[in-house]
Structure 1
Amino acid sequence: MTGKALEVLYYIDQPRTVSEIADRSDNYRNTVNRVLKRFRDRGLVGTDDGRYDFNADFDRLHEFARELAHHLHRQRLEAVAPKGTILWENYDEFLAQAETETDAEGFHETGLARFAAFGLQFLLTAHRYYVYSEELDAVSPAELCCHTLLIDDGSRHHSYCLLLLSHVDVDEEDLREQAVKYGLEDKIDALLHYLETHGEVDDDRLPECDEFQELATDYKIES
């Protein structure tokens, strides 16, 4: 089974259209169509209202693809951080917590340490955070915001994301695309709405408006 076939299997976690699978796997629709046609010809998948899903017990193929991808990610992480923990993953990328620093190929620093690249210095813990990706050159502000919320969903990290979004020019469309990728649509929407309405969002993880203004002043940011 080819890598493309495994990748398509990975993303049929629920009934999905060709476009949805292509977007999630970052493949061309024609490529996904060819793979799905082979699956359909062999009776592995069927369609209902344009959405592909597994027939009978063939959904085990999805579990196989997920377990294989996770196994490969674990091997790659343990090679550079034996005590590392995977916090999020898809077919060819993962976000991990490590006990030590690494500059291994494909590992890009993220989390609070990455904020310094955008002029924001925070106290760091003993942990380091990395996203593994063969396609990424460096972690963008939009990606960093999502990684930060995956690392810690608490109020402090939400405030750090608000500081980042107030401090640097983040493309909203890119941020929303990243939110979909990481399953953070509601949280990113809340952050953007908070900034648009100057704090008129009912969410315990977000600061009161005057609290955030004080924090922004401390970091010399115009909120």
Structure 2
Amino acid sequence: MTLPTEISGAEKRVARLQEATDPFDVRQGIIELGHVLGPRTADIVHGELGPLDDVLCVVVLRGGALMYPGFAAAFPHADFCMVGMRRSPDGNTVEHEYLTDIPRDSYQATIYIDCIAATGGTLLAVGELVSARCHTGPELAAVINSAAVATERLHLAGINLLGFSLYEELHGPVVTPDMGRLDAGDLFSGGAGRSGADGPNSDG
């Protein structure tokens, strides 16, 4: 596949999202970008791999939850599963909390949906989890932003990226520019959020 690929034409939306501080504005911005990223991902998958009814879409929670509507609309005949991820108690590894059923044993392609890739650790862990349960076919991660280190690391692991900015800087666990100062769970539930490494850009 001709990836990693940065999508053009949404720069103003991304900039508004990065400048937003109100939880509603950030949530709406992520949902809107999901409705751009979903169809663009579908175009690439259809153009390079064929029909979209043999695709598995994996929504990485909590960051990918707000992007789900855009991908559900763009992939109406695909299978979807949800995977919940969390940090280990020592903070050094990523562990899964749950994975919903994967209906089939084999897919033409698998798409991992998440907001941010910082180090790429979460998406790599998700890829290992899913590939142990089915034949994934070519793997693609659809994100809003990614640090350059995550883009390269995932690409080397065979997971190509599609998103709006894939070569951002990484400062500790934080991708800059980020998407405000709100935790992904707070965004989804409507909370006030908090700043620091727990933000939606702390992929791990």
Shorter-normalised TM-score: what interval? under 0.3
Bigger share in helix: 1
TM-score by length of 2: 0.26
Q: Which has the larger radius of gyration?
A: 1
Say which structure is richer in strand.
2
